[in-house]
Structure 1
Amino acid sequence: MRSGAITFGLCPKLHDDAHRDDIDVICGLMADDIGRPVEPVIAPSPSALADALASGEAQFGWVSPTLLLMSSRLATMVPLLSSVREGAAVFRSVVFACSDGPRTLDEARGARAAWVDPTSASGYLVPRLTMARLGFPLDMLGDEIFVESHGEVGRAVYEGRADIGGTYARFRGGDPDGELLDAGFLDPSFDGEACILATSGPITADLIAAHPLTPLTTRIAFAAALCRLVHDPTGSTPIRRIIGAEDFHPVSFAALDELRELAEAARQL
């Protein structure tokens, strides 16, 4: 790490050259804005991202709200910003299958399931809770695997290693009956079509958090640069591709409290 560099931890949807290039562009533009180098810490999984933040290897991190709330390692982290997508700082979780797989939850009995990580809101906790609330007996699932990213959930289902998967989804206007704009199973590299079996209620969107020992002036500069970058003609495109954000808002701690209760309920399943 270069002397005086700010470190930014991320766990991208896919770990490929295209995503790495976008992250490099984001960090380069932020460095130009702040006047200090910004270096990425690319984590292979949410758990590895938590380790990087907790150890101070990453001074800032793009994290799911449940990772922040449920990981004891991140108890002292400071939430700074919430991602805004389609005008709202919330999104949804879906359970999906390939178009030639189960078409309904009833048909998913015995299905092998792919999830992101045990701490993932949209990639594990919420889709399982949604299935249970719709009357699906979770003990009727087949083998369950964790594949460490949303893109890998999509890949596992399309490649036949799992029959169903849980991931995030964003709909136009936040309406699950509206146009699907983005989801973990949508990627040009995936061959096939998906069928959504269940959709959750709204979930608090991903957060930008800071290590507590990061100086206040650095936190302010980093947050301000990110808020400007999302509206920058050059920076907005990679920000949307990596973080999926069209804007950033201050964190709603009331929404975090609601999600904490939801996550606790999901963990009991």
Structure 2
Amino acid sequence: MTINTKTLAAIDIGTNAIRLFISNVEEYPTETLFKKIAFLRVPIRLGEDVFTTGEIGQQKRKRLCETMQGFSYIMSAFNVESYKAYATCAMREARNGKSVAEQIQKECDLNIEIISGTKEAETIFAGGMNEVVDDDKTYLYVDVGGGSTEVIVYSKSVKVEACSFPLGTVRMLNDAVDKEEMKHFKKWLKNITEKYTPDAIIGSGGNINKIHKLLNKKERERITYQELDILYEYMKSFNLEERERIMKLNTYRADVIIPAMKIFLTVGKICKINEIIVPKLGLSDGIIRLLYEEEKRGRV
């Protein structure tokens, strides 16, 4: 018998896509269950505008507003009781990011919080990541997004280092990566390796989830560096159309998956890490957990 049930929603406004995740949270005497009841992904790619012009263009701005209005209707249909909408790298860097958020607030009555890269990574980790790691080991949590890569070092379940780098898949495809930033990324990883000697990478993001599936991995089964490297060389030999046809990839995934693999391989090589854990948890999962914790504190 449940003690309490809540319907919560998370909106993730990313560089590559906008996502709506609706979950039923069911409290029982001995456990709390998070059950997904709806998920929708719209690949708008705000980063294509932001990383070339510095702002969100009129067309993508219109699509974003229409998408958010649609999400509002869907949340109403599911009787969502509470939600959070987080915007990440593209909105964070766009000159007009704040005004776009204000427009959505006015037109859709949805409040958007533009969050830092560090908060983004911490929110994702809060989504149940502690359930897939060992307390006595050191992990490099690596979230590869469209506009940025967030890296957090967890040693014995405690966050000891964190950094956000403007190195993302959409940014790389648009040749908008600063060479000095890549040097800084590699230097930071070397320092982290010398200081902590990480045991494994915890991979986050749609691309590493897809890679895990392409390698026919079972749930919780790890990806080795060699497996990733072989797949990277194989997929790189195909053009975009061939990746869609032969690898059965969606158009929105077929291009960004290559730079994502390159980032994970770079981390693995520099940090001398052979294994990647793929828990398949994202920002939306973390938002739902945070909403639940806030709601629970409000009852105390």
TM-score when normalising by structure 2: 0.27
Greater share of helix residues, 1 or 2? Answer: 2
Q: Which has the higher contact order (CA 8 A, sep 6+)?
A: 1
